[in-house]
Amino acid sequence: MTFAPFVLALTLILSLTSCGGIQKMAVGTTAGLLFDAAYEMETEPDWDHLKESVGPNLKVVEGLYSLSPEDDDLLVALVKGYTAYAFAIHETEALADQYSDKSKSISLSKAQHFYSRAIEYGLEYFVEQGITWDQLVKSPREEGGVEGLLSKKLSSDKRTHEAVAFFAQAMGGLINLKKDDMTLVAQLGIVKGMFDWVCKEDPNINHGACQLFYAAYEAGRPRMLGGDPEKG
């Protein structure tokens, strides 16, 4: 079953189960399947089909999460989904707008919006794991850094790795799109620390995300700030 029909079938099941307890049971038993089914969205070769299907599917997942807010599979699926939606769809279109010299890009605004939504869901996940935003902000300056904080608080499993990787990608993407926001740019150390942690735990996560991040990280900073454009 492909991802879109899976979500539609699940929506139909929930619409036919009026009892709250039954709905929660249905959500709980299918959340793991939904988390795994998201892999198909990541590997969808038809960009136009992906563009048309991701948004509605994400709204369904948000609806399911509202019924079962304690379900971490759904929460991480939202972090992954909105990060991918911002990156693969709206940032791609924003880049096309940039090359065509559009003075104002709606796609750029949407990319920023959906990266921000992914970050919000990611912070919910981290709070559940005992990590606050203030702790993340302080961690690069503390002993052990971001990696130490994550190692202390988080387990080492696929769901956690993906939560960290996609949250870091969302933060990095938003920073890249808002380079004039110095408060935001100052949080790049959090992004770097998160990738350092997750890429040691799972170097092959998300189809080469580690290699892509480190290349962009080196190429995107001038030498005076420690970057290495040739290495990137």
Instruction: Encode pLDDT of 34-85 as tens digits.
Output: 555 555 556 666 767 777 778 888 888 898 899 889 999 999 999 999 999 9
Q: What is the pLDDT of residue 67?
A: 87
* CATH class in words for 71-232: mainly alpha
Q: What is the pLDDT of residue 95?
A: 86
Q: How far apart are CA 28 and CA 73, in angstroms?
A: 9
Q: Which amino acid is at 97?
A: D
Q: What is the pLDDT of residue 139?
A: 97
Q: How far apart are CA 196 and CA 214, in angstroms?
A: 9
- State mean pLDDT over 154-165: 95
Question: Is residue 16 over pLDDT 60?
Answer: no
Name the region of 71 (left: φ>0; alpha: ψ -120 to 50; beta: rest).
beta
Q: Which range has the worst mean pLDDT, 15-19, 65-69, 89-93, 123-127?
A: 15-19
What DSSP assignment string belongs to 168-189? HHHHHHHHHH-TT-HHHHTTHH
Question: Is residue 189 over pLDDT 90?
Answer: yes
Question: What is this structure's pTM?
Answer: 0.80
Q: How far apart are CA 150 and CA 109, in angstroms?
A: 31
Q: How far apart are CA 222 and CA 224, in angstroms?
A: 5
Q: What is the pLDDT of residue 222?
A: 55
8 A C-beta contact, residue 119 and residue 171: yes
Question: Is residue 5 over pLDDT 90?
Answer: no
Q: What is the pLDDT of residue 230?
A: 59
Q: What is the pLDDT of residue 37?
A: 53
Q: Which range has the worst mean pLDDT, 30-34, 84-88, 184-188?
A: 30-34
Q: What is the pLDDT of residue 107?
A: 92
